Amino acid sequence: MQVNNAVFPPMEQAMAFFGSGDDGAFVMVNLLKFKPKAEYEDGSDPHLTGAEAYARYGAAVQACLAAVGGRQVYAGPVTGLLLGEVEELWDMVALAEYPSLAAMQQMVQSPEYQAIEKHRKAGLAGQLNIRTKPVGR
């Protein structure tokens, strides 16, 4: 299995994701890997770690999720691996629930989200976003 963390999806991947005919509520599993040091484009806050920059995003994204009917389900650090093997563990796992693809798309296009995304970009080395559908829906 090949795993490639990314910070932003290629345009064709994003279009296929949001153009999917399979809609309805879903939970996005976020596997997060942080930069050792935050890297803001304007050079601000060089004393922050990537995790600290991402924590700014994590705190602010709660309102963006709520505005579209979503919510954070869980967030916490990765502390170990019981089964399988990976070259390097992710730093954190976060689960976010959305009522629909349209709601998620509305959120990421909102001015409020665009204003906080700089913290996500400054802190993340990469991530995997895995869309899951609740059983029975």
Which domains are seen in the chain, by residue range? 21-132 (3.30.70.100)
* Rounded mean pLDDT, 85-90: 90
Least confident residue range of 20-29, 80-89, 107-116? 20-29
* Rounded mean pLDDT, 11-30: 81
* C-alpha–C-alpha distance, residues 7 and 34, integer Å: 10
Least confident residue range of 9-13, 40-44, 65-69, 93-97? 9-13
* C-alpha–C-alpha distance, residues 133 and 24, integer Å: 8
pLDDT value of position 1:
55
| Mean pLDDT computed over every residue of the chain | 91
- Cβ neighbors of 88 (< 8 A, separation 6 or more) are 33
Give the N- to C-terminal CA distance of the chain in Å, as an integer.
29
